[in-house]
Amino acid sequence: MSRTLVDRPGSESGFTILELILTLLIVVEILIGAGIAFDVHNKMARIQTQITDMQQSLRIAQYDMTRMVRMAGRGGLAPEILPTAVFNAADTPPVLGGLAIEVRNNVGGAVNADPDRNIARGDANSPLAVEGTDILIVRGCFSTPLYNLNEATFDWDPDGDGSAGPTTLVLTDPGPTSLPQPILPLKEEADSLPGGNLDGWMVLASPESRQVYGLGDITGAVFTGPDDALTQVSISLNLPSTTPLNPINTAVAPPARMFPPRMTAALACLLEEYRYYVREEYEVPGDDTSEMRPRLARARFEPGTELPYRNDPENLRLDLADGIFDLQIALGFDSDHPSPSPTTTPGAFDDDIDTIGIDDQIFEAPFGDAARDSDDWLFNSPDDEPGDLHWVVHQFPGNTRPVQLRAVRITTVARTARPDPSYRSPDLDGRGAATELIEDNDYTQDPALRFRTGNDLMYRHRTLVTVVEPRNF
């Protein structure tokens, strides 16, 4: 019997070992390439997310501070600032560095005479600011209306003894000009306090002059009408002989801060005080050997004191933005730069009636220029001397008036949440590692050097600067 051979279809034939090995190698290479591409893109996505978060933190921080600085002094608080003031623990209450705006420069840093970094001075239990950063303090009427009042209803001396004392302030809706002025915000403030009674300080502004104002300590309030139809509030005020936020009365010896004698009042509002600072925090809370995780925070105080608002310590640590590791404030003054001499022109805005020339500019010398230490910006150079009369009163003949604050420059520096081992941060100021200055904070020196050494160079960073002209100055 013969055997017939039948050819099998090609689809039933198998692969050789060599073909299988080559195919496997190709698949492995594709998978490895895909894994590498995925890892690269995942890493880039994480970095971009961190950068986006960092930029958002900067925007939030700048927006909140800019808004408050622009409104500083609202309600009549004078734009007085005394850069020579230094805290003395023996003072009761503490000497203030300013009224509407105050700056505590480079707290605890080598150039600062005051080593106390606590946001509430003299209170060791209050939060700490990061060493070398600034603390920005603003005061004014920020969240409640400005109220018009009938001047005839306010009496600074109701008992007739010749000195300011307890009195009553009457606010109505509508006001004396027949325009609406809601009383409800004051009622809501009272309802949120223990006992439901209004507390704090009222700023009273005189119709006579922008420089004439006084503060009254609220001791109680009586509201007339239901909450949805309040028509009046009678506020009991104590006008103390002295308070750190009242104007200075030079008619007494020695000059003292007090409610102005025989003052009339046309406007009134509820005074507030906020302090912005970079709070010192660590990845392991309380362990300063772990990674630092600073953040920008806002504290609210009882105005003119070192007491937290409503006596609640939680009001000292309202977080605004993560990753902010430096806050620097520079103050632009209407100073005498260039210094007066027979051959130069004084540089103050109010030297003449025009707005042309060097006298009508806030001048800033370039980095490295010796004039930067005496230009119109305070705290923009480590060699600035805030105790100089240059920042307090004009020094040339014909103008001995106080130097006016014209602008506030806010600089915040942020970094990403996590380091990148493959990244090395460039210098902060773009002028080479020999300088490394953010305003007057020198990152080549302690304490700021900690952010520019070792693993800290693996963090990406961004700097945001805003110049603000306060509206009420």
User: Each residue of 204-253: pLDDT tens digit?
Assistant: 998 887 778 899 999 999 999 998 899 999 999 998 867 788 887 777 78
Q: Is residue 86's pLDDT more than 50?
A: no
d(CA 417, CA 108): 25
Domain segments of the chain as ranges: 54-141+274-468, 147-270
Q: Are 384 and 373 in contact (CB under 8 A)?
A: yes
SS3 149: coil
CB atoms within 10 A of CB 36: 10
The set of residues, in sequence order, having a beta carbon less than 8 Å from that of 225 and lying 6+ positions away, is: 231, 232
Q: Is residue 71's pLDDT more than 80?
A: yes
User: Each residue of 250-281: pLDDT tens digit?
Assistant: 777 877 788 888 888 999 999 999 999 999 99
Highest-confidence range of 210-214, 388-392, 437-441, by mean pLDDT?
437-441
131's tokens = 């060493």
- Averaged over 85-104, what is the pLDDT? 60
Q: Are 232 and 223 in contact (CB under 8 A)?
A: yes
* Strand bridging mode 256-257 / 248-249: antiparallel
d(CA 186, CA 143): 10
User: Each residue of 161-177: pLDDT tens digit?
Assistant: 888 889 999 999 999 98
d(CA 328, CA 448): 12
Residue type for position 184: L
Q: State residue 281 phi and psi, 5-degree precision.
A: -135, 155
Q: Are 236 and 220 in contact (CB under 8 A)?
A: yes
d(CA 165, CA 158): 7
Least confident among 213-217, 298-302, 324-328: 213-217
* Closest residue by Cα to residue 102 from 331, 441, 443, 426: 331
- Dihedral sign computed on CA atoms, order 88, 89, 94, 100: positive
- Averaged over 88-102, what is the pLDDT? 60
**Of residues 338 and 160, more confidently modeled:** 160
d(CA 271, CA 204): 10
Helix (H), strand (E) at residue 35: helix 17-71
d(CA 34, CA 133): 46
* Closest residue by Cα to residue 271 from 369, 201, 367: 201
Q: Is residue 92's pLDDT more than 50?
A: no
d(CA 346, CA 192): 52
For residue 88, the model assigns a pLDDT of 41
Q: Are 107 and 135 in contact (CB under 8 A)?
A: yes
For residue 399, the model assigns a pLDDT of 65
Q: Is residue 84's pLDDT more than 70?
A: no
Average pLDDT, the chain: 83
Residue 324, judged by CB atoms within 10 A of its CB (0-12, 13-18, 19+), counts as buried
Phi-psi region of 175 (alpha: psi -120 to 50; beta: other; left: phi over 0): beta
**Of residues 399 and 453, more confidently modeled:** 453
* Strand bridging mode 147-148 / 135-140: unpaired
For residue 389, the model assigns a pLDDT of 75
Buried b (16+ CB within 10 A) or exposed e, 332-364: bbbbbbbebeeeeebbbeebeeeeeeebeebeb
Return the half-sphere exposure (C-beta side, CA atoms, 13 A cut-off) of residue 362: 19
Q: Is residue 356's pLDDT more than 60?
A: yes
d(CA 53, CA 181): 41
Q: Strands (DSSP E) along 122-257, which ranges?
A: 135-140, 147-148, 166-172, 200-205, 213-224, 232-238, 248-249, 256-257
Q: For the chain, give the percent of residues with pLDDT over 90.
A: 37
Q: Is residue 282's pLDDT more than 80?
A: yes
Q: For the chain, give the percent of residues with pLDDT over 70.
A: 84
Q: Is residue 341's pLDDT more than 60?
A: no
SS3 148: strand
Q: Are 290 and 282 in contact (CB under 8 A)?
A: yes
Q: Is residue 89's pLDDT more than 70?
A: no
For residue 281, the model assigns a pLDDT of 92
Q: Is residue 115's pLDDT more than 70?
A: no
